[in-house]
């Protein structure tokens, strides 16, 4: 190894093996002082000159094409306000019409009131087993499918605002679901592809069925009596289903449905089930602001 101490090289720089090295060499220079002709880059100097959110810099932002905006196929491009409008107005993401509410009840005291704004369920009298339900059809839900088939391999969102007056008696079960059949496979848990919110007392659960297995996940929050609560069921089309309560994710599962639904298996349902062990009647259970969006 050769060390070149040529007078043409600054005092704190040495040539070692043909490479110029700046720093402290034992016995040559005990300390190095920065100067204009002898700059030293420090961490604080770098930090002080890094652009932050308030810094204006020159550069290039890659914009999504119209097709990418509508398809949602890019994860690293920006969207112009016009492309946001195109995406929102495209036929891929569209609200699906809800075709009325149908009612059915059983058990003394049970009732289901059909209303445009506030459909209401009342359970059977205390100590009486019974049911009350409201169901709504979804009009021609999925592209390139028969009108009687829903495509679970596309994203779908169902929303509702509910009020449950009684949360102390666990003999009452309130459910908001999507996926039950037009011919109605029965009250209670899902038995075919679908997703649901199940409320027993104040306990909220996310429920999904993939056509073979029923999966239930308890939410991280509880229901408050007599208080409006917003629910959002969101399926991404690949098996992941999330439950939002008042805009916060409270339960998630990857066991959700994909593929085609059974024939006519795409009913929105709001139901209240009561057992004979109930000690009070569960009355005034409201639902409102129901909407349905599908990436068709």
Q: What is the pLDDT of residue 197?
A: 97
| 10-14, 40-44, 136-140: range with lowest mean pLDDT | 10-14
pTM of the model: 0.71
pLDDT tens-digit readout, 217-265:
999 999 999 999 999 999 999 999 999 999 999 999 999 999 988 877 7
DSSP string, the chain: --EE--TTS-TTEEEETTEEEES--TTT-S----BTTB----HHHHHHTS--TT-------PBPPHHHHHHT--SS-B--HHHHHHHHHSSSEEEPPEEEEEEEEESTT-EEE--SS--EEEPPPTT--EEEEEEEEESS-STTS-TT--BTTS-EEEEEEEE-S--S-TTEEEEEEEEE-TT---SSS--SSEEEEEEETTEEEEEEE-SS-EEEEEEEEE--TTS-EEEEEEE-SSS-EEEEETTEEEEEES----SBPPTT--EEEEEEEE-TT-SS----EEEEEEEEEEE-
Q: Is 50 exceeded by the pLDDT of residue 83?
A: yes
Joined tokens for residue 154: 């596309």
Confidence grade of residue 20 (pLDDT, cut at 50, 70, 90) = very low
**Residues 114-129 as b or e (16 or more Cβ within 10 Å = b):** eeeeebbbbbbbbebb
Joined tokens for residue 156: 């779908």
Domain boundaries, given as residue ranges, for the chain? 1-45, 94-295
Beta bridge partners, 130, equal 274
Q: Is 70 exceeded by the pLDDT of residue 151?
A: yes
Q: What is the pLDDT of residue 94?
A: 65
Residue 186: alpha-carbon gap to chain centroid: 28
Joined tokens for residue 67: 């097709």
The domain made up of 94-295 is a member of CATH 3.30.750.200: no
Q: What is the pLDDT of residue 101?
A: 78
Q: What is the pLDDT of residue 29?
A: 47
| 11-15, 125-129, 144-148: range with lowest mean pLDDT | 11-15
Residues of the chain with pLDDT > 90: what percent?
Answer: 39
């Amino acid at each position: 190894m050769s060390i070149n101490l040529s007078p043409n090289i600054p005092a704190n720089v040495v040539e070692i093996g043909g490479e110029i090295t700046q720093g402290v060499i034992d016995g040559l220079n005990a300390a190095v002082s920065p100067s204009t002709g002898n700059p030293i880059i420090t961490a604080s100097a770098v930090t002080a000159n890094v652009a932050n959110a308030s810094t204006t810099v020159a550069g290039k932002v890659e914009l999504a094409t119209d097709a990418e905006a509508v398809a949602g196929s890019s994860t690293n491009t920006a969207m112009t306000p016009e492309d946001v409008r195109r995406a929102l107005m495209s036929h891929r993401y569209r609200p699906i019409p809800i075709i009325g509410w149908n009612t059915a009840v059983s058990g003394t005291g049970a009732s289901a009131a059909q209303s445009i704004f506030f459909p209401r369920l009342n359970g059977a009298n205390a100590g009486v087993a019974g049911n009350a339900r409201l169901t709504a059809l979804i009009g021609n839900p999925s592209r390139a499918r028969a009108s009687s088939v829903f495509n679970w391999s596309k994203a779908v969102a169902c929303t509702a605002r509910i009020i449950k007056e009684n949360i102390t008696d666990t003999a009452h079960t309130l459910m908001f679901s999507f996926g039950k059949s037009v011919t109605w496979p029965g009250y209670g848990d899902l038995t075919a592809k679908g997703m649901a919110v199940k409320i027993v007392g104040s306990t909220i659960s996310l429920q999904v069925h993939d056509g073979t297995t029923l999966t239930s996940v308890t939410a991280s929050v509880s229901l408050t009596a007599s208080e409006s609560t917003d629910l959002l069921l969101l399926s991404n089309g690949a098996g992941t289903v999330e439950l939002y309560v008042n805009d916060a994710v409270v339960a998630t599962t990857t066991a959700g449905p994909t593929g085609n639904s059974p024939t006519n298996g795409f009913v929105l349902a709001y139901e209240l089930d009561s057992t004979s062990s109930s000690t009070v009647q569960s009355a005034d259970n409201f639902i409102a602001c129901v909407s349905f969006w599908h990436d068709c």
